[in-house]
Each structure stands twice: as structure tokens, then as C-alpha cells.
Chain A
Amino acid sequence: MNFHLVKILVFLCGLINAEAALCQVFKNQDTALKSVFGNVADVQRKTIFLTDDQAAQIQKVAKTKIGSKIVTYYSGLKPDSTTAYVFFETNIVRTKRETFMVVLNPDATVASVEMLAFYEPRDYLPRENWFKLFTNKFLNENFWPKREIHAVSGATLTVRAVTLGVRKIMALYQVAIIEEN
């Protein structure tokens, strides 16, 4: 039994400051929107009420079910004067929720994907680098785990849940925003 190690552990525990405690929410909505747009004063909040036809078309394109026909998104100019469309998606990974932000470019490619809240054990959360795999991707038949989206050992369900969520948002953008405008 290495009692020196125990002493070190006890010492480290004593150093823990309550204010350093983190939780499973990494970033809230306001902070996330500011990280995309900078000044959020001119950001528009919009809600779409999908028709049955639109919902069916989105599901066909995304190859996944949509949970709701009410969709809220945010659009505005980023600091570099380009337009961004921001969506927030919540779904179930294994038994617990995750919420992530998807930022789309006007040409329907992905600008970024960022995890905002993750309630599963952190072992199931891919590293930040993995989320960069989505950048500049467009919706196509290879936009699936183990194709354009690499698998992550130990995080299979998260990889699938995020990928399906991003597919759904990209399809929604194509069907309900680009085509409608």
C-alpha cells in the first residue's frame, strides 16, 4: 500500500475550491450566440412552423426523424460581415441529453458545431477536434459516422446523435429556409 500516494490525494482534495467546480453545461445560449455574432443586438430570432410536406421532405433528405415542427433559429452578421444561421439542437445520447449548437453558412455548409451541454459520462464525449470534422461539410450521402465523420472509440452513440442532429438541421435549412426564401 503506497501511503505517500494517499497523502498526495488528500492534499489535492484540500486544494479543491468550490468555485472551480464545473458541471455538464459548458456554455449557455447567450454566451454561445455572442461567440458567433459578437454583438447580438442585431441578431434576429425566427421561428418556423413546418408544414407536413416540409417535415416529410426534411426527414427524407436527412434520413432521420424530426422531433418537432416548431423550429427556432437565429440569423445575423458575424464580425467578418458574413451571415450565419444558428440552430440549437437537443437530443438523447444514451439515456441522457446533450445540447449542441450548429452554425451554418449561407451556402448550406457547416461553419461550426459546438457541444453546449452534455449529461452523459464525459468518457462518451468526443474531443473538440472531432467537432471540427463538420466544418465546411455539406449534406451528402457520405455525411455519416465512419465515412466523412470519423468514429470515436467509446463515443459511438454521441457521434451518431450529433451527426443525425446536424443532418436534420442541414436538411431543414435547405427545405424550409433556402427554398422558402
Chain B
Amino acid sequence: MQSLGLTLLIFLSSTQIGFSQQVTKQDTLKELMRRVEILTQELEKQKLGEVSEPIYESKFGMGPAASKVYTLKQEGVSLAGYGEMVYENFSDETDDGLSSGKTDQIDYLRHIIYFGYRFNDWLLFNTEIEFEHAKAGDGQPGEVAIEFGYIEAQISSAFNLRAGMLLTPVGIVNELHEPPTFHGSLRPETERRIIPSTWRANGFGILGAATNGFSYKLYILESLNAAKFGSNGVRSGRQNGAKAKAEDFGVSGRVNYTGIAGLDIGASFFSGNTGQGLVDSTGSNINAGYSVFSAHAVFARRGLELRGLYAHSTIDEAAELNNVLGLTGSSSLGDSQSGYYVTAGYDILPYLVAGTSHYLAPFIQYEKLNTQNEVPSGFVKNPARERTNISFGLTYKPHPNVALKLDFVNRDNEADSAIDQFNAAITYLF
């Protein structure tokens, strides 16, 4: 833009040959100044875009506000993404001294491409395409999946519409899972087993924000499929919008408050039947009502970052499901599941290197979860499902969008069969 302006300036200056010999140098200078002023106004207009244009102006005989759409430019395509490579080094032994049998692993865990298109000033499409485990195909560990893909109608700041494949708005990580945004190479286990992130489903809903710091989302979504539930949680019951059974739908919503600088506090839920047409031995439908509730708080001020989440879920008719799914003894579904974690980190680098824009934060995370809080009568709990994880490590960011992570996870469970692990990760977003 600058070079264009200067080129035009030189061109316009060269046209001075059209001036009469009688024109004084002062007149020439005045004319040049006028042209420079016009050029700078044009440059400023280009730089500011629609901000430089009048907002309220009637067009085509319509009212000023209704005419706004005619003053806007088409925004077109957007491209962004994130990814992570994770190295996991497992302990050779479980907590009770047996061989862990685990093989260390390094995995290009995921690379994601966000692709969006703005149709006009109020309608847009946005999608997240995920490539997992580096290589997909027959016999390969990877997969390609759509994580979300929706049309959004931006009606007002307080009321907007979304429809398509949506991220279930429960917890923190499910919607905000770009790796540089959280500490630790792995997502908190509570947000994988109690809240089955990344949890996406087809549906539609409304969302918006008030001026006082409150925002909301309320969706109707395809529900989970109870036929895939297990003692380790509902994670396998996600249908991921892929030819999903649609006998049962659920309602999901969240409320957030961000009215205080640095604070994000919220509550969220999902509730719906998950039977998806499952019947018992007598041919009666099993509704398998499932609900999960979560409350969270994130606080960031100066170098300090605090984060905490609690989640609790219930499965109705767990005994009937056990019978239909052939789950016996300690393989039972839990009537209820719960978990929580708290994380604290602090950027210490400004104390070591004055004026640095880099970031180095030690962090610690304490987490407790159980996917079998209670089991139906006649079944027993598996003590391995009651877990406590303590993680600590470092997050280094040479740039806010690039995070290198080193951490150790001390895992414990009531069966003493947990396996500790050391992790390293390279993560990015753009």
C-alpha cells in the first residue's frame, strides 16, 4: 500500500509539466501538498476499511440500519490451525512393582486446519478438520475427522444462531483445546473421561453475550450412544456426527461470566437420553438418561494462571445397560462419575530476563476422578477407576503461539496399577 502511494505521488509530481511556466514555485508546492493530502487520505481509507465508511446511510430506499449490509465488503476465506507432537515415556513398572508393559511412544498427535468463509456481514461458515496420528489409511493409526463445521448467523451480540456439527459446550478444554492454551502435554484426564473431549455432535443452537460480561450458549445436539459406554466412562459413546443414531437428542448449554479482567467463570451441562433405540430382553426401550454438569474458573493476571474444573455425570438405568451390554462384575457402568482438577502456573521469565517477550512457566496440576463413583446393586467397583494424578513441569513459549512442554505425571489409583509417565511436546497454533 505504501509503495503504491509513493508511486502515485511520483507520477502525480511528474505531471507538473502541464503547469504553465508562469506558475510560481509557491503555487507548485501548494498543489503538491494538496495532492499529498489526498493521497494520505486515500491510504488511511484503505487501511481503515469499513471503519472509514459512514455506517448510517440510506441505500436503495431502505432505512439506514437495514442498508448497512450494502456498505460492507465480502470478507472471503480464512485459514488457521494448530497441532502437537507428543513424546510419552512410560515407567517400566506399575505402582505395585509389576511390569507396566507399556512401550514409549512419540506421536505427531494431531494437526488441525480451520477453514472458514464469510458469506456476508452476518453469515459465516467455520470448520475444523483434524488429522490425527500422522498417517491415515488401512492398517494405519491415523484418522481424518471433522471436529466442527457450522453455519453461524450473527444476528446481534446478544443473539446468534449456529447449526451444523458443533462442539458440545461443556467444560473448558472441549471448546478451547488448542495446546498452547493449557499446561501439560496431555489434556486433563477429567476432561477426557468425565467430559469426553473432544466431544462434537450435530445440532443447532443459540449463543450470545450481554454487555455486563455474561455470555451463553444453548444447543440441541445428537446424543451419545449408550451401547458404547463402559466402566471407564462414556467416551466411546460419542457418535461424532458420523451417521449418528438420532433416536435421542440432548440439550447442552453454558453460561460464562468474564466481567472482571482476567477472570472466566462458568457452568455448563449436557442432558439427554442415550439409548438410541436400545431394547432390553423383553423388548422394552432403555432410555439411558445421561447428564453431565461442570463448573469451572480460569484466572489469569500478570504472570499468574489458575484454572479449576469440577464435573459430575450420571447414567440412568445402568443396571439394565450392564445386562444388555454383557457387562459383569467390576466391568459395570458407573451410576455416577465425577472428577476435578486444579492447575497453577506462573511465568517466571521476566524475573530472569528483563524485557523479554518469551514465557517460561513452571506449573503443577492436581486431579482426582472416578468413572465408577457408584455402581448398580449386584456389581462391584473396579478400584483402578478411582484415579489421582499429580502433574508438574514447564511450559516454554518463545512466541505466544508456540509452546514447548516438559512434564511428569505421577499417576495413582486404588488398585495400585497406575503407570507414571514423562512427557514432552511441541505445540503450535496459527
Contact = CB atoms under 8 A, between A and B. Distances in A.
A175 to B, nearest CB: 18
A2 B259 contact: no
B9 to A, nearest CB: 10
Interface stretch (B72-80, B133-141, B412-420): B72-80
A120 to B, nearest CB: 8
Given A13-B161, A150-B300, A24 B121 contact: yes
Contacts of A88: 44, 47-48, 51
B321 to A, nearest CB: 20
A142 B350 contact: yes
Contact of A25 (B1, B50, B204): B50
Contact of A130 (B52, B116, B122, B261): B261
Nearest to A128: B211
A18 B66 contact: yes
Interface in B179-211: 180-181, 204, 206, 209, 211
Interface residues of B, number: 71
Contacts of A12: 159, 206
25 contacts: A6-B220, A21-B69, A21-B121, A22-B154, A24-B121, A29-B48, A31-B55, A63-B357, A68-B2, A68-B43, A88-B44, A88-B47, A90-B49, A95-B116, A96-B78, A119-B75, A127-B258, A132-B261, A146-B359, A150-B261, A150-B262, A150-B300, A154-B176, A154-B264, A157-B401
Interface of B: 1-2, 5, 36-37, 40, 43-44, 47-55, 63, 65-66, 68-69, 72, 75, 78-80, 116, 118, 121-122, 126, 154-157, 159, 161, 176, 180-181, 204, 206, 209, 211, 213, 220, 248-249, 251, 258-262, 264, 298, 300-303, 305, 347, 350, 354-355, 357, 359, 400-401, 430
B130 to A, nearest CB: 18
A128 B258 CA distance: 10
Nearest to A18: B66
A9 B160 CA distance: 11
A70 interface: yes
Contact of A23 (B43, B68, B347): B68
Interface residues of A, number: 61
B33 to A, nearest CB: 11
